[in-house]
Structure 1
């Protein structure tokens, strides 16, 4: 079941201790977790009750005491052993459900935040890194909570139960046992800092490797075409060596930590055992043979429990670091802010750029003093050399980025005051390379529209010149296109992208190099489909091919982020300016 997550997005993750963050994530399940802990205490009681019952039985045997005590002790132990099974099932159901809900909520919150983060953020942060946070980091948090609950809670309950029994039966030895816990805590505090440093280093190296592998798989066609397999593998091998070195350092540190803890705790145990035996032997304190056996058993049990707690330190450290890692996304400040802004209910298609400027960081302006008015139904082509600012203008129009100076008006309203999500319902984009997901042709064309009648779908495919090849496919509309449309040609994918735009009946259309990667036949089909698509809509088109731009109502020539000249194709050629100089490359 989908869990509501807006409150999880509003929480302040960055700058607070991860334990507090976990407390926030588990807040809806507090009652279940408290009940699970209570059940665990009861079901786990045989571990710390067994030494006490053993001591009672041994004293009855040695001292020939009342047999009723023997049967009473046996009955208590058998009862708590029998009820362990149902209590354990109940505990697992409560705990596992809470952990899975937390993981689902955290993953949902991460995915929701990714949808809210700006395109600039996604341009800076690798998709592989974000994927690792959603999958690997959340899994590490789940594992930390699961192991801490099972092993950690068991160790704590055993320690507390054992110390209570010792305090009630042989209080003289309680101070001796209390030395073990502070010693373990001190060791954890000393080493946790170094473990955290190594965990952070290892996480960064794994994220870097994930990014490298993602890059390698994306570039495989180019790598294969140029015979650069060895170069690509060399880049990945460098990351693999760094992951190996960071992992080995982490494992070595964990090994030293666990070994030192085990040796120290067992030395303490031997000392305590020898001391209690000498006390009983010389009769310095009223200690029975059963007490010696009980103390001996508790030394082992409590030492193992403390060792377990120490062994959890790397898991906890890794889990808390994963909480911090998720917090980096959940509190990333680079958001597209739409909250509280006016929704767009209707678009006629008038776009006004008023002295718009935009800079990427401290770099020179990518767009500077850009002033342009697009009338409803007008087609405007943006041309210019690489780096002239064409793509930046399109990104400003779509709302991927906001102007750093000037303003953009939609039908007379400043877009800075509008909820861009509602504006984009009236906008469609046909990029250079159509992006399809691994689903059917029907799903890809109607993506996000819900139920669409067959006639509308077929009409969009027909107008996009796509129906002719769709009907030839074995499964027709239900044909699965493969990952990123791998089973289709470039022209087929582009025509599906046009069908996707047509079926939405947009008022504003953006064509970004929509035909540049096509052969002549595919381009002719796509151009014919585009002619139907642009009719009656406000269109901004970026293209290098003359055939794509010569029919535009106005051509805007850009140079260095500014408008160099505007006019129709014929007017600009007659002037012999910048546009005329671009024509040999355009052909």
Structure 2
């Protein structure tokens, strides 16, 4: 599946499916052959029944009865091993394709730019990885189970009729599809009712989600009855629509059952009349066989026709997956020079960056940062601070000018190798469901415990880690939910320290902390920045006043540069920001 993201070019979803299963053709062939054998009793039963009826009516040798019964019993016994063979072969192909698709999607998401991820919500991407791939798997599974059963029954039944009663074959070729079309026409009338019910359920889901989010506000203002009244109104609509759908489904089920059985009676009466008047040679057993086959073959054609919405839904999932696999917004690193070492010098040469909306976030930025220097970026909201950080990390590429890393244009570098020397401490520390050891040593397998403990001590985190029941093995919960904000931030600093980065990015690393937590984090940051090139974005004075230089941005341009004392004394933009 490694080539999938490069081969998918928006072709028809059927071709995409064929491409997905190209390496599993042998499994699919085995599955089809196994299904033919295991399903054979379904279409052979009418023939065996006809033979047994003829034995009884025509008083043939009783041995024929045992032969027909034995053959049918043998095929029934063979159903077990061949069914297992079918499931193993088909499920093996489907599960492997699903796993490959999810792997391709995850790999593609790692390659897509941060700009793409800022436009497409994580929930949408999660739906594609989980639900859309599941939709492709279910479509293949259901189309195989139902479609193969219908096709094998049709092929086997029509073959038996062609050999046994060839004169009846044209009648079946005309009447069976016509009966299936009538059933499907009746089923089409259900779509509007089912769609209305689906929309009402979606509205209910939205209303319940809204209610759960508003529970703190509702309870705080004593509005429980109002909230329940809004939900009850939607529930009433769902009830009415559901009852209507049930009634329509009941009518359809009854009318379809009557229609098929009336046509079955007509087929039985017709075959009996042909046999009675000797229009052509037709034994009593043949009459029973034709009557049975009419119902069986009509159901098979109806099943094939009913597969269309299932297939349509699955193909829509293929298209949805293709939206990610075809997304052109990739970070291109192939063929570019790797970065083996970083001293930490950064030069912005007339750098400009404009977003797709046309908004210019950085405009003609010229700035040099020497190795080991701490530079703070300050400015009003929208001044371009976060954009500059994303340019340094390589999440964004300049739309004008260039950025040099140790004298080399970053556009010519493999940014994946460069980022091994970069650490980021964001405003909201990002932890995953795992132990403290796993979070701190993320991406560093088999890191010694002593190294982890040293990083935690330097980050002022060891004092709370030692109090936890399982120490380094304590699970922090989803997104670190079992820890306080200050504890999470100190773990993020420990994660940065353990990597010994040459370039450090601090993005509002203390803005969400209380005074005590901020003091502990500031001490840890003091150890973290030593000897490294540091770019800081912050609003709190305590975070930026000790920077070697403070760069004041205004509208994407540099308004002022200097130390904290120099800028306060100048009475310019920086002074205004501090007094605001």
Q: TM-score, normalised by structure 1?
A: 0.88
Which residue among 59, 82, 86 is the counterpart of 2:81?
86
Quote the residue 1:380 is aligned against: 375
The equivalent position to 2:18 in structure 1, one of 14, 23, 44, is: 23
Q: Deviations over 1:447-500 (max 9, x none)?
A: 111110122111111111111111121211111111111111111111110000
The equivalent residue for 1:6 is 2
Which residue number in structure 1 is paired with residue 408 of structure 2?
Answer: 413
Q: Secondary structure at the match of 2:116?
A: helix
2-structure distance, mates of 1:424, 1:239: 51
Kindly report the root-mean-square deviation, in angstroms, between the aligned alpha carbons of the 2 structures: 3.7
Q: Counterparts of 2:208 and 2:141 in 1: how far apart (Å)?
A: 30
* Unmatched 5+ stretches in structure 1: none
Q: 1:276 offset after TM fit, Å?
A: 2.2
Equivalent of 1:310 in 305, 324, 339:
305
Q: 8 Å contact 2:49–2:285 — kept in the other structure? A: yes
Out of 532, 536, 539, the position equivalent to 2:534 is 539
Pairing of 1:143-542 with structure 2 (within 5 A):
143-180=138-175, 182-183=177-178, 268-542=263-537
- Relative to 1, partners in 2 of residues 1:252 and 1:506: Cα closer, same or farther, differing over 3 Å? farther
Q: Does 1:564 align with 2:559?
A: yes
Q: What's the counterpart of residue 580 of structure 1? A: 575
Task: Kindly indicate whether the alpha-carbon contact (under 8 Å) linking 1:126 and 1:211 is maintained by their aligned counterparts in 2.
Answer: no
Q: Which residue number in structure 1 is paired with residue 67 of structure 2? A: 72
Q: Which deviations, in whole Å up to 9, do the C-alpha atoms of 1:117-157 show, x marking residues without a partner? A: 22222222222222222222222222222222222211111
Shift of the alpha carbon at 1:207?
A: 9.9
Tell me, in whole angstroms, the C-alpha distance in 2 between the residues paired with 1:39 and 1:461: 60
Does the C-alpha gap of structure 1 residues 153 and 507 become closer, same or farther in structure 2, counting only changes over 3 Å? Answer: same
Counterpart CA distance in 2 for 1:377 and 1:137 is: 48
**Higher mean Cα deviation, 144-153 or 469-478?**
144-153
| Count of aligned positions | 580
- Extract unaligned runs of 5+ from structure 2: none
Which is further off, 489-498 or 202-211?
A: 202-211
CA distance in 2: counterparts of 1:202 and 1:21, whole angstroms: 33
Q: Could you tell me how far apart the structure 2 residues matched to 1:37 and 1:205 are?
A: 41
Residue 416 (structure 1) shift: 2.0
Deviations 1:407-429 (A, max 9, x none): 22222222222222221111111
SS in 2 for 1:179: helix
- Superposed displacement of residue 212, structure 1: 9.8
Deviates more, 1:148-157 or 1:495-504: 148-157
Q: CA deviation at 1:41?
A: 0.2
TM-score normalised by length of structure 2? 0.89
Give the Cα separation in 2 of the matches to 1:252 and 1:399: 60
- Mapped to 1, the partners of 2:81 and 2:494 lie a distance apart of 58
Quote how far apart the aligned CAs of 1:316 are.
2.6
Deviates more, 1:264-273 or 1:46-55: 264-273
CA, structure 1 residues 564+237, in 2 after alignment: closer, same or farther (shift >3 Å)?
A: farther
Change (3 A) 1:34 1:213: farther
